Amino acid sequence: MKTTLNRSKWMATSLGLAASVGLFAGAAYVKADQAHRDPLANLSPEAAEAIDSANSLSSAFRTIANRVLPSVVAIENRPKMAWNTNQNIKPSSEPFDGENPFKGTPFEDMFKGHNFQIPPQGRFKIPTPNRPGPRGGIGSGVIIDESGIVLTNNHVVAGGGEVIVRTQDGREFIASHVWTDPKTDVAVVKIDDATDLVAAVLGNSDKVEIGDWVLALGQPFGLESTVTAGIISAKHRGIGITARENFLQTDAAINPGNSGGPLVNLRGEIVGINTAIHSRSGGNEGIGFAVPSNLVDWVSDQLIETGTVRRAYLGVGIQPVTQSLAKQLSVKPRGGVVVTDVFPGTPAAKAGLQTGDVIVRFGAEPVSTPQALQLIVERAPIGSTQTIEIVRNGKSVNLSFEAAEQTANFANRSNGVSNPAENKRMEDLGLEIAPVDADVAKQLGLDQVDGVVITMVADGSPADKAGLATGMLITQVDRVNVNTATDFEAAIAKNREEKKTGVLLLVRTEKGSRFVVLQSKFAVGPS
């Protein structure tokens, strides 16, 4: 009996041990299975904190996208004239020749109808695609008022076609009013009888800093309700595609069709209107540009109220303060802009500005570039009195300036040495030229009247990078003499036809002549 009892105890003990082992094995299996299902299990506190931070950013993106997307619209510009299907279409010299590069792939149907012409290397391009047939251009916009006020780009709605606005919920409206300002590439579209619209909020672009997160929303390639993320990578950019530029630069993906859509901060506020990209391929390469919301707000308010934009002006010729000039003028490099001409009868003349003065502040805002001064002056309320701080002969002086509206005759005038009606602006080169006569040559200190005179150079443009400046005389283009703006245009057109890598210019100043190679990298894309 004792032996039997001991054997029974042993068997019971063994069974109990086996059950315990089974329980432990089962628990270990469940724990391993849970660890397999939760990839974040067993992380260090530091790693878990980092992931929580990333998830918080993701949550912010999701919240802002859901809030702003209902305000984003697609805008289509439909030509009124019928498309002539029998017209002769000349083959393009660009890669793909407009053919869908996705032909024969799963993406063929998605991108059917798009023009996929690829611009030459290094171009700035307005990212709105062509569509063949009667559909015209297509881009994006954003509702800023529930009454039906929509912001977009001028190049999206330009051309006089019928402007169609399609909201996120699929409704379509024909615009009742379209107001445009080509100088800033801003446009306002009004739609009537639209209910239950959701409006986005305009933010303060002056508070945007380099490194801030932003979202770009729109219709790239016609793909509605697309959101991309990035940061503000630069501010106050001038790239030579519009007359008035102060772009925000971002690496948020912007592609053809994004034009006119909003760039928003993490508060869901519009800080810019997406306008252009720098691209070798025609698509996003991480450098996009948006018109700042404060400039958009100023322009759009006037367009809605009067249908036009009134701008104040000084009436001076100006140039940047370079390092060499700074030493002579007793200021810091980029510590203002130097006055090169003061035109009689203008607000600048009445204020007492003189040639050689360095404008360092206008009103409450500091001035560092000609571009910045121009934008600040133009936004001064007509009739208001502003203080201009200048440095004259090394001493600080304050002048009183009364803002007057820029006249039509002065609108395209930059240094007063030519008839504004005869001036020709070459946006893709970043310069403006005008004819030269004996009086102009004398004013410039030159003994010849052959050539065309440079009357304006855009900051950051190919002309600026080549060292061209206002007052220089261009006498030859690619070894061919030029005497008029028409000669200059023809020579440039021939250069492009021959696909040369640069433009060889012979320029003359009072110090003599020299050759300059101008790299033409800027191009305005189709609307």
Type of residue at 159? G
Q: How far from the centroid of its chain's Cα atoms is residue 192's Cα?
A: 29
Q: Active site residue: 140, 181, 185, 297, which one?
A: 185
Question: 397 pairs with which residues across the strands?
Answer: 390
Residue 471 burial (10 A CB sphere; 0-12, 13-18, 19+): buried
Three-state secondary structure call for residue 304: helix
CA distance 264 to 252: 11
Q: Active site residue: 71, 155, 357, 459, which one?
A: 155
Three-state secondary structure call for residue 42: coil
Q: What angle do CA 414, 415, 417 make, to 5 degrees?
A: 120
Contact between 278 and 77 under an 8 Å Cβ cutoff? The reply is no
Nearest CA-CA partner of 287 in 225, 237, 227: 237
CA distance 403 to 382: 5
Q: Active site residue: 71, 140, 205, 259, which one?
A: 259
Type of residue at 163? V
Q: Active site includes 176?
A: no
Type of residue at 302? Q
Q: Active site includes 259?
A: yes
Q: What SS3 string covers 234-303?
A: EEEECCCCCCCCCEEEECCCCCCCCCCCEEECCCCEEEEEEEEEEECCCCCCCCEEEEEHHHHHHHHHHH
Distances, alpha carbon 496 to alpha carbons 201, 489, 493, 499, 527, in Å: 43, 11, 5, 5, 21
Q: Active site includes 169?
A: no
Active site residues per annotation: 155, 185, 259
